[in-house]
Amino acid sequence: MKPPVAVQPKEIILAVSIGVLAAVVLGSALSRLGTPEGFSGRLDVLSTQVARIKKSAGLAQRSGALGAVCERHASDQASLLTKILPAMATQYGVQLSSAEATPEEPNSGGAAPLAPVHLQFGASGSYEGVMGLLDSLSRSKPQVFVDTLDLTSKTSSVEVKFSGRVFCAART
């Protein structure tokens, strides 16, 4: 029979201390091992980005009229307007007599300078057709602004003359 070994309290305390120390060191090492490189800094950047995204989304929801300004170049928008206007007129049974879109000088003031595109057209057709064309233009993006609008009744149709503008983001 093997004689039992007498263990001193000091030895127990020492063994427990070494065990606790080893556990703390191992835990710390594992914690570092399980954490990706630059974790804290990357989380900070993410938090900043998320806060900015939330703020921007909230402002965008409140501002509503997104898309009111075209983001393409003013000359491209002018070309696009002269292409889509005949198609819209055809859709409402209205005959275009003239259509012209001309880029103008951008305004220089403000944080977001805009480049206007002057739009002029003349057309004739039924009252419903002309009003449908104008209503479609009023709901299109970018937003259409009007300077003058003349409607003249003819024998069997209505003649319209439109002068207005749309605005594009000015390219710097």
Partner 1 sequence: MADAAQELTGSPEFEPPRPPQVFVRAFTVPSGLPWEQMRAAQLEARHGSPLPIGEVMHRVRRVGPWSLGRAGRFAAFYIRARDYEGPFETIVDVNGALTPIAFGAPVRKLRQAGDLLGAAGVSMAVAGLVVVAVSVGLKSRSAAEDHLTHAERLAARQSHAADRLQHQRDLTMALTVAPGASHPLSAALSDLAWASAAKAPDSRIFAIHWDRGLLAVETRGEGAPFVASDRLVQRSARPLRPGVWLWGVTPAGAVNSGFLK
What's the token pair of residue 127? 């009252």
Binding-site member from 11, 57, 91, 93 for partner 1 (CB under 8 A): 57
Which range touches partner 1 (CB under 8 A), out of 10-18, 27-35, 82-90, 94-102? 27-35
Per CB under 8 A, 15 contacts partner 1: no
Q: Per residue, what are the HEC states of the chain? A: CCCCCCCCHHHHHHHHHHHHHHHHHHHHHHHHHCCCCCHHHHHHHHHHHHHHHHHHHHHHHHHCCCCCCECCCHHHHHHHHHHHHHHHHHHCCCEEEEEEEEECCCCCCCCCCEEEEEEEEEEEECHHHHHHHHHHHHHCCCCCEEEEEEEEECCCCEEEEEEEEEEEECCC
Q: Could you tell me the smallest distance in angstroms from the CB atom of residue 79 to partner 1?
A: 20
Binding-site member from 40, 98, 108, 148 for partner 1 (CB under 8 A): 148
Site map 94..123 versus partner 1, x via CB under 8 A = -------------x--xxxxx-x-------
Q: Which CB atom, from 87 or from 111, has the smaller least distance to partner 1?
A: 111
Residues interacting with partner 1, by CB under 8 A?
Answer: 1-6, 26, 30, 33-37, 39, 42-43, 45-46, 49-50, 52-53, 56-57, 59-60, 63, 65-69, 71, 107, 110-114, 116, 131, 134-135, 137-138, 143-153, 164-165, 167, 169
